[in-house]
Amino acid sequence: MNRFLLARPDAVLRAEGVRASFADPTAAVAALRGWRDGGSARDGSPGLVVGALPFDPREPAALWQPETALHTTGPWRPAALPPLPQMRVVARSPSAAEHVARVRKLVERLADPADELRKVVAARSVVVEADEPLDPEVLAGYLLTRHPTANVYAVDLSVAGRAAETLLGATPEVLVTRHGDRVSLHPLAGTLPRLPDAEADAAQARKLLSSSKNNDEHGFVIEWIRQQLAPVCAELHIPDGPELLSTEQVWHLATPISGVLRDPSTTALELALLLHPTPAVNGTPFAAALDAVTADEQRGFYGGAVGWCDSNGDGEWVVAIRGGELSADRRVLRASAGGGIVADSDPAEELAETTAKFRTLLAALRCELPER
């Protein structure tokens, strides 16, 4: 049975079953509007769409109307979690050396004034094998236990033709939420790994906040969001500069953004489609970055978006990072991590950033990431 879980720090949505599926997100928007105009879904099932958007908007989405849904306030508190089976990293794609070489080539391209590309997000993957099948909900529970302030997700991808694969993770990034005519976002871009020594870690945070490279990278994201939302928001509040946000593994530059819709009928799903993928996971300009990413990577739903939207247009969407895709037999987990590359990026530092991001998932699952 198709299942959906999005556990945010202040609310949890669970859904099960499939009444209708939507590979084309615009068909899901049309269904939501039809349910709104009709008062509810005609068959009595929830007037709700849940699921995931792939990284590449040209690929099929995994969106569906569930048979049942339960929305609760407050944090998710998993019951006692069973022990995890042994897991090990068995492959990397590309290798560390290959990733460094790719970043180096991208830096050369980004430094060319004749090239329109200004930022591109380069990602790599590791493949984890388990001795026994993994339960997606148990994995989500371990992620939440390790990262209680993250947005934990577990989404069945079957409706996108991905057998019984499951997308799961613990993301710190909110793509967009819409409640009534109010819109909010919390984009992240610009990252440095956390350090074990408290004094050095504090210095690392200050370094990130003052880094021209990371502020430029963050600025591309904020400007994209401004351009995308200005036509649909009567009010848009964007701070002059970013603030620091920390996870267990990394420091981020973050900017809280809020707005008021011009047209209250604009749905959360439409806003997600308008914004996704942001330069935080893609790059800039949009088309050139998307071409650069897809030429080298098969991202699937990594860097996509997970969320829900109801017939009132309200909804919440988070960026599908700090996670992976679990295979149909539940024995293989492919985890991905990326970093934004700009003209003054250091390839070795970019490799270290992806390594730190991998640990969000792998450390929670008690799986070591070998140095080489």
**Nearest to 148, CA basis, from 43, 248, 42, 25:** 248
Residue 232, pLDDT > 60, answer: yes
Instruction: Supply the mean pLDDT for the chain.
Output: 93
pLDDT at 39: 52
- Give per-residue pLDDT as tens, 297-309: 999 999 999 999 9
Q: How confident is the model at residue 43 (pLDDT cuts 50, 70, 90)?
A: low
219-230 b/e (C-beta count within 10 Å ≥ 16 → b) = bbbbebbeebbe
Question: Topology of 3-77+89-364 in CATH?
Answer: Anthranilate synthase (3.60.120)
pLDDT value for 44: 58
**pTM, full prediction:** 0.95
Could you give the 3-state DSSP secondary structure of residue 148?
coil
Q: What angle do CA 92, 96, 102 make, to 5 degrees?
A: 110
| pLDDT mean over 226-249 | 95
- Quick one: pLDDT at residue 37? 82
**pLDDT tops 70 at residue 195:** yes
> What's the pLDDT band for 1 if we cut at 50, 70, 90?
confident
Domain ranges of the chain: 3-77+89-364
Q: Is residue 195 exposed (0-12), middle (13-18) or buried (19+ Cβ within 10 Å)?
A: middle
Q: Among residues of the chain, what percentage have pLDDT more than 90?
A: 89
Span 324-359, pLDDT tens digits: 999 999 999 999 999 999 999 999 999 999 998 998
* Residues annotated as catalytic (active site), given as ranges: 119, 173
* pLDDT value of residue 275: 97
Mean pLDDT of 8-28: 96
pLDDT digits (tens, 9 = 90+) for 173-193: 999 999 999 999 999 999 999
Structure confidence by residue, pLDDT tens digits, 76-119: 998 889 999 999 999 999 999 999 999 999 999 999 999 999 99
**Alpha-carbon dihedral angle through residues 150, 247, 132, 76, given to the nearest 10 degrees:** -20
Could you give the percent of the chain with pLDDT greater than 70? 96
User: What's the confidence (pLDDT) of residue 160?
Assistant: 67
> What per-residue confidence (pLDDT) applies to 270?
98
- Does residue 75 carry a pLDDT above 60? yes
Nearest to 188 by CA among 145, 103, 246, 125: 246
Return all residues near 287 (Cβ < 8 A) that are at least 6 apart: none
Cβ burial of 57 (10 Å; 0-12, 13-18, 19+) is middle
